[in-house]
Structure 1
Amino acid sequence: MVIRQQILLWKIKLFQQKIEDIQVASYDGTLIWKITNFQEKMRNAQSGRQTSIYSPPFYSSPTGYKMCARLHLNGNGDGQGTHMSLFFILMKGKYDDILGWPFNSRIIFSLYDQTDKKQHIFDTFQPDVISNRCQRPHTDTNIASGIPKFIPLAIIEQENNPYVQEDSIFIKIMVDFNQIPDNLLPYVLSLDPGLPTLQQHKLIQEAINNFYQNQSITN
């Protein structure tokens, strides 16, 4: 009887998680991932009880690539015990038959500064198109790729740091389809996420156009 109740509770929890994933699903190649109960999750990572957590799936478009992120709060690989490690994962999707492979867009990771200073920490990486990690997935997920030394733990562990507020952090994962110049990344990542998606994309494209126009004038 107890085992049956445990199985039922597990199924209910799994169903609730699926509903939550659907509610936060993004279809423009950008995910803002809120991680709650941060201190508890960090303790679990440090003790080895649960070393990684996965984001909800998100998509490059309604008929595009399916993706997710994996976060190691206490680090992984070269970042073990010193950094938070963040990885990007391609997932098997419904429209893979008609998509272009290998996947070859740059990935932008950002940890939100939740104060008015908005000094977000960000880093980028370019997936290796030769690797199987960027090829069409033939299982549920490809092998992850990303940044083992994303955020130093020393920053996160500081008392009253701006990145952990009310026991939560926010991480942005962004597929860079527009080839945003590095100089514009602070501006792009500072855009108010409350703006409509189309308006954000318009502002980003305008900034890119202005950047290259100014470059051509200078040259």
Structure 2
Amino acid sequence: MVCVIVVRIVVFVFENSIYNDVWMVPVMILLLKVLHMHITPSMPFKSTGPLIEIKTAEVSLLSTRPTCLLLLCCVVKMEPSGSNRITQATNNNDVPPTSSGPPSDEFQQFKGTTEYQIMILQRMVQEVRNSSRVGKEQIETMSKDFDALKTQLKTTETRLAQLQKVVAVQTDNNTKLKRETTEKDNAIKTKVDGLTRDINDLKASVQTITQNLAEIERNRGSSTGGGSSSANIPENLTQMLEALERQLGMYDVRIAEMDLRFQVLETTSYNGCLVWRIRDYERRKEDAKRGRTLSLYSQPFYTSRYGYKMCTRIYLNGDGMGKGTHISLFFVVMKGEYDALLPWPFRQKVTLMLLDQGPDRRHLSDTFRPDPSSSSFKRPTSDMNIASGCPLFVSHTVVDNSTYVKEDTIFLRIVVDTGDLENF
């Protein structure tokens, strides 16, 4: 009974302690050993029930902490074998006899069982320690993985911030380019309108002069005579008329040039990408077969507002190895106003594409990187370098009667990589 009370007190202290369970279990085992060593020499014991008794109170008390369940097996119910004799001796004021002989068989059995339970407890403690070590290793591994994920997240955030900056810069450049293009378009339109008014005025003046000249001719025919001054009037008017006609012709040429420049500005690209629409495909192809117009040039386009100036040259009936069987497509580096600021030779990757106008969008493309040793990609000294590209770009059998040609029109797309170029 004393053992049960002591164990309950120790369990209560253990349950309310702040120390680690793994270290408290061996302490409890040691206390139990000492307790048995002090009890067993004074009186023999006999087992009045099972050596290990798990009671409801201990289960409810110890279930709140997992390791405390190991101590349930230490609640032992013991009763002294000579209790009646000891009580009678006490009533008769006699001294209870002491046992000086060897321990009984029951005590040896109890001792062996207790040692076996202690061994089991030690094994369980070792297992708990092993589990704790494995848990710590898992926690360390998870901590390392978490640190790696944090580093990866920081790297991703840094790259995202850089991309956002690049997008912001590109957006600003596009806004500036649109503003400059709009301003130029407005200026050109203003000039064209002014020239148109001047031409209309000139036409009205010529018409008036023509009417005056006709009236003078009629008056001259009806007149019977005239002096030298009347004879010189038609000649002067004729000279004025010829001068006005020459001036009118010059204005027509200037208007045509301004209109051409206006059309070029409307279609000029400054992002390294050109979409070229070629109308009247069959007629132009037939002209190429007959030798009238062997090739066509696209409008110029640029890698940026102050970047490389380029264009594309196409042979609808082929050139070189592809003559008569293929469409040949070439890339041309042109002389630009800002070539002195650019790195040479030209090294940007070029992609040539024939666009599919059908729903499948099976575009045909060919990509190449310029050869730095080729003269086609050195800094131009004339208006444009020698064209370089694909003489066997696409076969006529693939293009004809396909979705690459619709309404007698084909579309070409040329893309120049501008990722590593400096923006001025």
TM-score where L is the length of structure 2: 0.39
Matched, 1:118 2:361: yes
- The amino acid of 1:70's aligned partner reads R
2:416 is aligned to 175
2:348 is aligned to 105
Given that 1:75 and 1:148 are in contact with CA atoms closer than 8 Å, whether structure 2 keeps it comes out as yes
Structure 2 counterpart of 1:30, from 273, 297, 301: 273
1:16 is aligned to 259
Distance 2:252 2:405 in 1: 31
* Structure 1: 4+ residue segments shifted above 3 A: 4-17
Following TM superposition, by how much is the alpha carbon of 1:16 offset from its aligned partner in structure 2, in angstroms? 3.5
1:198 is aligned to none
The alpha-carbon distance between structure 1 residues 155 and 15, as it changes in their structure 2 partners (threshold 3 A), is farther
Distance 2:260 2:329 in 1: 21
Structure 2 counterpart of 1:45, from 263, 288, 298: 288
The alpha-carbon distance between structure 1 residues 62 and 70, as it changes in their structure 2 partners (threshold 3 A), is same
Matched length = 175
Structure 2 counterpart of 1:163, from 392, 404, 407: 404
* 1:85-123 deviation digits (Å, cap 9, x = unpaired): 000000010110110001011210110100111001111
Matched, 1:84 2:327: yes
RMSD: 2.2
Distance 2:358 2:256 in 1: 33
1:185 is aligned to none
Structure 1 counterpart of 2:310, from 59, 63, 67: 67
Helix, strand or coil: the match of 2:391? strand
Identity of aligned residues (%): 42
Following TM superposition, by how much is the alpha carbon of 1:150 offset from its aligned partner in structure 2, in angstroms? 0.3
Q: Which has the higher contact order (CA 8 A, sep 6+)?
A: 1
1:95 is aligned to 338
Helix, strand or coil: the match of 1:171? strand
Higher strand share: 1
* 1:133-161 deviation digits (Å, cap 9, x = unpaired): 1111111001110000001011122x2x1
Higher helix share: 2
Gaps of 5+ in 1: 180-219
- With 112-121 and 9-18 compared, the bigger mean Cα shift is at 9-18
**Structure of higher CA gyration radius:** 2
Distance 2:372 2:380 in 1: 13
Following TM superposition, by how much is the alpha carbon of 1:58 offset from its aligned partner in structure 2, in angstroms? 0.1
Given that 2:277 and 2:409 are in contact with CA atoms closer than 8 Å, whether structure 1 keeps it comes out as yes
1:145 is aligned to 388
Distance 1:92 1:64 in 2: 11
Structure 1 counterpart of 2:372, from 107, 117, 129: 129
Helix, strand or coil: the match of 1:174? strand
TM-score where L is the length of structure 1: 0.74
Given that 2:303 and 2:418 are in contact with CA atoms closer than 8 Å, whether structure 1 keeps it comes out as no
Distance 1:143 1:14 in 2: 26
Following TM superposition, by how much is the alpha carbon of 1:19 offset from its aligned partner in structure 2, in angstroms? 2.3
Given that 1:125 and 1:147 are in contact with CA atoms closer than 8 Å, whether structure 2 keeps it comes out as no
Helix, strand or coil: the match of 1:78? helix
Distance 2:250 2:398 in 1: 40
Helix, strand or coil: the match of 1:16? helix
Gaps of 5+ in 2: 1-241
Distance 1:156 1:6 in 2: 43
